[in-house]
Amino acid sequence: MTTLSAYAQVQLSALAASHQRRVMQESACEGTHLLRDGVQYLSFSGNDYLGLAQHPNVRAEAEAALRQYGAGAGASRLVTGNHPLYAPLEEALAASKQAEAALVFGSGYLANIGTIPALVGAKDIIFADKLVHACLLDGAQLSGASLKRFRHNDLAHLDVLLTEHRSQYKNALILVDHVYSMDGDIAPLDALSALARAHDAWLMVDDAHGLGMVKSDVPVDVWMGTLSKSAGSYGGYVIASQAVIDLLVNRARSVVFSTGLPPASCAAALAALNTIAREPERGQRALAHARNFAAALQLPEPQSAIVPLILGTEEAALAASEALKAQSILAVAIRPPTVPVGTARLRFTFSAAHSEAEVEQLIAAVTCAGLVRRTCAA
Ligand SMILES: *Cc1c(COP(=O)(O)O)cnc(C)c1O
């Protein structure tokens, strides 16, 4: 064994010992079901909240783009990869927030790690919510700016940090998620926007789990999001003023030094955005499923299609996931470092594609697995 392989083995053993080792499992999607190891599971773990990844129109547009423009973009967008499907997609994104412009990136992750370092640097400071998504923190680190974390959704704490530190830096950027990915709760954008203004800070909001699900017309300097979740495709985006977008085209290294998206991904995303605009009831349906589920199990009322059931230890979360699998239901255990230590959980996500009967099936399975205090009917 090489020393590198030996090193990898030691690291993997340590992860396994703390129940944190992860493996990928092949999952073939069939509507709301997944096929894993030859077993069919009803899934409550995806992020395709509106059921658009499998939508006939979305597929058809992707197929047409593949036929017309080929499989790949062939180069970065600044060279020859800026194919004709980018412009309508970026126009639709900008229009969705009544903003001047938008820029599509290779993924949401690439959008965050490209945008943050393009806007702030060593003389600047970033204030980030304790629970923001990992890729905002990766972007913050790449930027070289100072970083302060404020307690989750705690504006008084953010105010204290801004008051204490803001004046020693040139520019300041506040980073929050719109809908928190592992808890499903929502950032108080109105108050955040006012606080940002009061302290001469810019506000950047990650809308990865909000698109098509939770509306907001609060003025925000930078909206960021993904085309890979409720838009059912792949890619990321930033919506901002024309000047900010033009700066990103020049400075965001994940745009400048990375190949454009496949035309089919852009076409699928545009078809999905059009469907979201035409059929706003899709988001309502996913939210209603989440609320019915939470109400039946006496969990707090969800503000999005994400409902956490916090179990504590990694072992407890893994055991709960296994207990549901035994009832043909897939709810993946979420463990540290994705969530704070001691808050390992099942994260249930609901989709417009789920039926009422499927949600009932989940309620019965969670109850009969003994995960909540409620009498099992079976
Ligand atoms: C998934 C996610 C991203 C990354 O988006 P991808 O398109 O999957 O790379 C960014 N932010 C949040 C909050 C996310 O949940």
316-349 per-position pLDDT tens digit: 999 999 999 999 999 999 999 899 999 999 999 9
Q: For residue 133, which atom of ligand 1 is closest to its CA?
A: 13
Per-chain mean pLDDT for the chain: 96
Task: Please indicate whether residue 148 is annotated as part of the active site.
Answer: no
177 CA closest ligand 1 atom index = 13
Find the Cα–Cα–Cα–Cα dihedral 282, 284, 286, 288, rounded to 10°.
Answer: -150
Sequence letter at residue 131: L
Is pLDDT at 113 greater than 80 in this prediction? yes
Between the CA of 111 and the centroid of ligand 1 the distance, in Å, is 9
pLDDT (0 to 100) of residue 20: 84
User: Residues 181, 216, 265, 351: which is the catalytic one?
Assistant: 181
Which residues, 6 or more positions from 64, have their beta carbon under 8 angstroms from its beta carbon? 267
Please say if the pLDDT value at position 377 is more than 80: no
User: 149-169: b or e for each residue (b if 16 or more CB lie within 10 Å)?
Assistant: bbebbebebbeebbeeebeeb
Alpha carbon of 101 to ligand 1 centroid (Å)? 21
pLDDT of 378 over the 80 cut: no
Q: How confident is the model at residue 57 (pLDDT cuts 50, 70, 90)?
A: very high
Instruction: Say how far apart CA 123 and CA 343 lie, in whole Å.
Output: 35
Test site for ligand 1: of 113, 228, 234, 347, most ligand atoms within 8 A of the Cβ: 228
pTM: 0.96
Spatial separation of the C-alpha atoms in residues 374 and 324, rounded to whole Å: 16
Q: What pLDDT score was predicted for residue 1?
A: 86
Q: What is the layout of strands, in order, in the sheet containing 333-334?
A: 306-312, 344-349, 333-334
Q: How far apart are CA 263 and CA 78, in angstroms?
A: 16
229 has catalytic annotation:
yes
Pocket of ligand 1 contains residue 181 by CB under 6 Å: yes
> Could you tell me if 167 and 122 are in contact, meaning their C-beta atoms sit under 8 angstroms apart?
no
189 pLDDT more than 90: yes
DSSP state of 178: S
pLDDT above 90 as % of the chain: 95
Residue 207 Cβ contacting ligand 1 at under 6 Å: no
Report the residue among 152, 226, 306 best suited for mutation to probe ligand 1: largest number of ligand atoms under 8 A from its CB: 226
Say if residue 287's pLDDT is above 90: yes
User: What is the average per-residue pLDDT within 170-199?
Assistant: 98
C-alpha 306 to ligand 1 mean position (Å): 14
CA distance 271 to 92: 10
pLDDT digits (tens, 9 = 90+) for 217-247: 999 999 999 999 999 999 999 999 999 999 9
Of all protein residues, whose CA lies closest to atom 14 belonging to ligand 1? 208
Q: 117: closest CA among 312, 245, 205, 248?
A: 248
Res 256: pLDDT:
97
What's the pLDDT at 226?
A: 98
Task: Please count the other Cβ atoms lying within 10 Å of the Cβ belonging to residue 208.
Answer: 25
